[in-house]
Structure 1
Amino acid sequence: MKTIIKTIDKNSIDIKNIGIAADILKSGGLVAFPTETVYGLGANALDEKAVSEIFVAKGRPSDNPLIVHVCNVEMVKRLVKNIPELAFKLMEKFWPGPLTLIMEKSSRVPEIITAGLSTVAIRMPSHPIALKIIEESQVPVAAPSANISGKPSPTEAKHVIEDLMGKVELIIDGGSSQVGLESTVLDVTVNPPMILRPGGITKEQLEEAVGKIDIDKAILSDHLEDIKPRAPGMKYTHYSPKADVIIIEGKVEACVEKIRELAESYKRDGIPVGILATEQTKGLYTVGTVMSLGDRKMPDTIASSLFRELRHLDDKGVRVILAEAIEDTGVGLAVMNRMKKAAGYNIIKVGD
């Protein structure tokens, strides 16, 4: 398959190229496009054959449900049996944006989208290119991350090109994703609502808007093979680079000491090692390829760079990545959720 690559400036959108993307979607093709979270691989959500091609292109397990992207609430009404009042409140507060809502699906939604579940995951992206594509195509768009299944999610077009060139009709380069982690997935069919995947909208933000929110215990489970996915990203090792990832968890000083010790050991054995540090600690390492994820005091900066730096260390040819854990509160919960899955839950705890 020949893949077309088009560049669109989100601040000055080229309607002609948006039209090309919309036409491909309407004709049953695949389009990779930027969103504010990560790049998505889109197909017409109402076209079962087109959606099946997403699974083929990504090598994605068929029991892993997809998120449907919309551009207005009228689209949502056609995809669900009813919109709970709570969902309307959340849409008003957080849409467009990185929040996915789980609701009871209508008969129009193909089972391939929901992996046979009675619910469907829906969100409205805030990225202007994503919104324009959906508006122009006038179809809801099923779109998981635009990468080979299991690899770190793509936050830049070059990541998509590395993974999907020759497997999709069109890749749109719209610059770097802002959030850097996939959306928060919230099930509003239960009371209280439950977070099935942490993301850019935090538990604290949700509770401030609508009251008590629960978190699914499976989010931090290390027995993923026993989980029946109720939302994307709940099952399987995800976000993994080629290198083995080891998380060091504990007080910062103890983490640094342990990582320095391990890095020296790998060096003696001739094993190239990478270190995922923070702005506060990056200068404390003298062995290995050191990358700063961002500022510990601003976890948003770490969220936006995690996937990019995992891919960057792969490009550097390291075989082991030693990663400092961060506090798992706020956006840090989403960061640690992704980091632990990237590591296959290979965690060394240090200190008290």
Structure 2
Amino acid sequence: MFQKEVQESFKVLKQGGLILYPTDTVWGIGCDATNEAAVEKVFKLKQRHDSKALICLVADDRMLKKYVKKIPDAAFDIMDIEDNPITIIYDEPLNLAKNLIAKDNTIAIRIPDNDFCFHLLRKFNGAIVSTSANISGQATPKSFKEIHEDILKGVDYVVNLPDEKIGANPSSIIKLSNDGKVQVIRK
């Protein structure tokens, strides 16, 4: 059904470009999470200071292990019991663009519950940035129709799945420190 869109997105990501794509939460701007120049393009497009970290998506636990030095056991428990989209902030990220990593040496990662994302992540075989498709400081678009023209023009490829079933709200965010501390960042 969406293999053409996966293939086109894959090509753009491999070339260091930006995509606009549906996730399990909101429409997102994405790029290769290991490509510093691509991550910089995302910050520029969103008009966002790079001190505010971005979220990455990975396909599954196996892929998660490529990007986090030590995954707390609680992370697996939370992912197993949580029904709503949940992004977890981990200590000591690995193999990611330096400008994607927060100043406190953490990274926010989510395993999305979305067929298109899953297939794209599998094909890409790596982490993809996922940040809401809006200019920094503006409201997060609740649908494709609400995405600002500057965002649509600023990406290299817009995934043609405008009717894709996605949530209308960003994910919850929990910070799990290696010392066992748990902090809710966004409900």
TM-score (norm 2): 0.90
Correspondence list, 1:182-331, <5 A: 182-189=170-177, 191-198=180-187
Distance 2:2 2:97 in 1: 32
Distance 1:177 1:16 in 2: 18
The partner residue of 1:140 within 127, 144, 167 is 127
Are 1:77 and 2:43 an aligned pair?
A: no
Kindly provide the CA deviation profile for residues 286-326 of structure 1, in whole angstroms up to 9, marking residues without a partner as x: xxxxxxxxxxxxxxxxxxxxxxxxxxxxxxxxxxxxxxxxx
Deviation at 1:149, TM superposition (A): 1.3
The partner residue of 2:50 within 49, 58, 62 is 62
- Aligned pair in 2 of structure 1 residues 174, 124: CA closer, same or farther (>3 Å)? farther
Partner of 1:101: 88
Amino acid at match of 1:195: V
Correspondence list, 1:11-22, <5 A: 13-22=1-10
Secondary structure of residue in 2 paired with 1:19: helix
Kindly provide the CA deviation profile for residues 74-107 of structure 1, in whole angstroms up to 9, marking residues without a partner as x: 1111111111111121222337x51001111334
Deviation at 1:159, TM superposition (A): 2.4
Distance 2:26 2:181 in 1: 28
Deviation at 1:192, TM superposition (A): 4.6
Secondary structure of residue in 1 paired with 2:121: helix
Matched pairs, number? 185
Distance 1:64 1:76 in 2: 21
Distance 2:104 2:162 in 1: 33
Kindly provide the CA deviation profile for residues 133-169 of structure 1, in whole angstroms up to 9, marking residues without a partner as x: 2111112001110111111112322223534122111
Correspondence list, 1:24-173, <5 A: 24-94=12-82, 98-160=85-147, 162-172=149-159, 173=161
Large movers: runs of 4+ above 4 Å? none
Distance 1:73 1:107 in 2: 15
TM-score (norm 1): 0.50
Higher share in helix = 1
- Tell which deviates more after alignment, 50-59 or 131-140: 131-140
Asked if the contact 1:156–1:175 (Cα under 8 Å) also holds between the matched residues in 2, the reply is no
Deviation at 1:30, TM superposition (A): 0.4
Distance 1:188 1:115 in 2: 14
Asked if the contact 1:70–1:123 (Cα under 8 Å) also holds between the matched residues in 2, the reply is yes
Asked if the contact 2:143–2:168 (Cα under 8 Å) also holds between the matched residues in 1, the reply is no
- Aligned pair in 2 of structure 1 residues 127, 107: CA closer, same or farther (>3 Å)? closer
Asked if the contact 1:33–1:42 (Cα under 8 Å) also holds between the matched residues in 2, the reply is yes
Secondary structure of residue in 2 paired with 1:21: helix
Identity, in percent, stands at 29
Secondary structure of residue in 2 paired with 1:153: coil
Deviation at 1:36, TM superposition (A): 2.2
Deviation at 1:24, TM superposition (A): 0.7
Amino acid at match of 1:149: S
Asked if the contact 1:184–1:197 (Cα under 8 Å) also holds between the matched residues in 2, the reply is yes
Secondary structure of residue in 1 paired with 2:90: strand
Amino acid at match of 2:112: P
Distance 2:141 2:86 in 1: 18
Partner of 1:213: none
Distance 1:192 1:118 in 2: 15
